[in-house]
């Protein structure tokens, strides 16, 4: 399931990027978990749409940039919550959108032992 989450976020970053835009993927450690951040250099999303984008089938004003149906971000949030994690989205201060997946150690006992 997590593979599908990451697959959709990378495919969004490709679809909604500028033609020559890079995609940066960062994996990092936090005190009680870990995070994975996917950042593109496209137009980002309208501020007023940010909370709506996690609703099933909602597509933003930029949807004309790419084909799709819009169920995926809501599924991403659901899958992350099943895994005891969360997903956050923000427009970067420069041009681009950043999606962050947060995984909690508490939901991953192997990692706590490790």
Ligand X SMILES: Nc1ncnc2c1ncn2[C@@H]1O[C@H](COP(=O)(O)OP(=O)(O)OP(=O)(O)O)[C@@H](O)[C@H]1O
Give the residue, chosen from 5, 44, 72, 87, that forms a contact with Mg ion under the rule CB under 5 A. 72
- Kindly state the DSSP code that residue 33 receives in the 8-state scheme: E
- Residue 4: in which H helix or E strand, if any? helix 2-15
The reply to whether 60 sits near ligand X by the rule CB under 6 A is: yes
Give the residue, chosen from 13, 80, 87, 101, that forms a contact with ligand X under the rule CB under 6 A. 13
In whole angstroms, how close is the CB of 50 to ligand X at the nearest point?
A: 10
The reply to whether 12 sits near Mg ion by the rule CB under 5 A is: yes
Residues 6 or more apart in contact with residue 34 via CB below 8 angstroms? 27, 28, 102, 103, 105, 111
Q: What are the DSSP calls for 44-105, one per residue?
A: ---GGGTTGGGSTT---GGGGGS---S-HHHHHHHHHHHTT-EEEEEE-SSS-EEEEEEEEG
Stretch that binds ligand X, among 7-15, 26-34, 80-88, 102-110 (CB under 6 A): 7-15
The reply to whether 17 sits near Mg ion by the rule CB under 5 A is: no
In whole angstroms, how close is the CB of 44 to ligand X at the nearest point?
A: 6
Q: Binding residues for ligand X, per CB under 6 A?
A: 8, 12-13, 16, 40, 42, 44-45, 53, 59-60, 62-63, 68-73, 97
């Amino acid at each position: 399931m997590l593979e599908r989450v990451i697959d959709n976020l990378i495919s969004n970053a490709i679809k909604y990027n500028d033609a020559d835009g890079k995609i940066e993927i960062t994996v990092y450690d936090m005190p009680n978990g870990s995070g994975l951040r996917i950042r593109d250099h496209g137009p980002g999303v309208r501020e007023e749409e940010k909370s709506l984008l996690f609703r099933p089938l909602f597509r933003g004003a930029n949807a004309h940039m790419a084909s799709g149906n819009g169920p995926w971000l809501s599924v991403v949030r659901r899958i992350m919550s099943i895994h005891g994690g969360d997903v956050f989205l923000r427009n970067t201060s420069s041009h681009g959108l950043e999606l962050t997946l947060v995984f909690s150690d508490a939901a991953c006992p192997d990692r706590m032992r490790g």
